[in-house]
Structure 1
Amino acid sequence: MFRRTFWFGTGMAAGVWATTKVNRKLKQLTPDSLAAAAANKALDAGTRLRDRAVGFAHDVRDNMAQREAELDDALGLNAPVDRELPAPRRHNAIESNPTYVDRTTYSYNRNEDH
């Protein structure tokens, strides 16, 4: 008698377990559940993609700042500034320029040449 009661209880427990498992799977396969699962996966994928894009943007900004610093050093833009002005240069443009032509004798009328 005890043996029959044991197997009867074991069968009932297996039946309850199997029924619960099947009902859960059926609820997961309803259209609403499938749509919710797809939406959750899409949100997760979007979040991962955004995180990667933000990380990429930070990497680009960091590398850009590093390259700008390298270029500034190469061009001497980070060199200390000399506060003294250079000595003024004094040249007479007319006297020092050998190619200067006195244009007062020429007419600027365009129609004269034709």
Structure 2
Amino acid sequence: MFRRTFWFTAGAAAGVWATTKVNRKLKQLTPESLAARAADKAIEGGHKLKDFALDVRDGMVRREAELGEALGLQAPIDPELPVQRHFAVEAADPAPAADATAHRKLPYNSYNDNSYNRNEDH
């Protein structure tokens, strides 16, 4: 008698356990749950990417300071004068054009070329 009761109870407990496990797994696989989990992973990845970018920026500033010290770019010639800024790209033609109405010709671009209208064929 006790044997039957034991095995009946063990079977019922295993059934409840299995049913609970399956229901939890089904809830994890619903579209809403998958979307929430994907959004959480995307946010986490964004935070990691931001941290990486900040680390790279800090490293760049540190290395630029080291190079500036090594090359003497940051030491002013006269202590009374401010440090001169160095620009990476200088303007090609700083003087204004003599003719104010003169326009630069745009480089060739198929969107700017109005010699052919493809809608004329239709």
Which range, TM-score by smaller chain?
A: 0.5 to 0.7
Q: What's the offset of the Cα at 1:79?
A: 8.6
Aligned partner of 2:20 in structure 1 is 20
> What is the CA–CA distance in structure 1 between the aligned matches of 2:70 and 2:25, rounded to whole Å?
61
Change in 2 beyond 3 A, CA 1:70/1:78: farther
TM-score normalized with structure 2 length: 0.59
* Mapping for residues 1-114 of structure 1, pairs under 5 Å: 1-72=1-72, 77=75
Bigger Rg, which one: 1
Query: Per-residue deviation at 1:71?
Result: 1.0
Q: How far apart are residue 78 of structure 1 and its match?
A: 7.2
- Aligned residue for 2:66, secondary structure, equals helix
Q: Deviations over 1:73-103 (max 9, x none)?
A: xx7x47997xxxxxxxxxxxxxxxxxxxxxx
Aligned equivalents of 2:9, 2:3: Cα separation in 1: 10
Task: Give the whole-Å Cα distance in 1 for the aligned partners of 2:42 and 2:56.
Answer: 21
Aligned positions, number: 78
Aligned partners of 1:41 and 1:31: how far apart in 2? 15
For 2:51 and 2:12, the matched residues in 1 are separated by 50
* Residue identity matched to 2:41: K
Q: Which amino acid aligns with 1:46?
A: G
Percent of aligned positions that are identical: 55
Segments of structure 2 that go 5 or more residues without pairing to the other structure are 80-122
User: Which stretches of structure 1, 4 residues or longer, exceed 4 Å deviation after superposition?
Assistant: 78-81
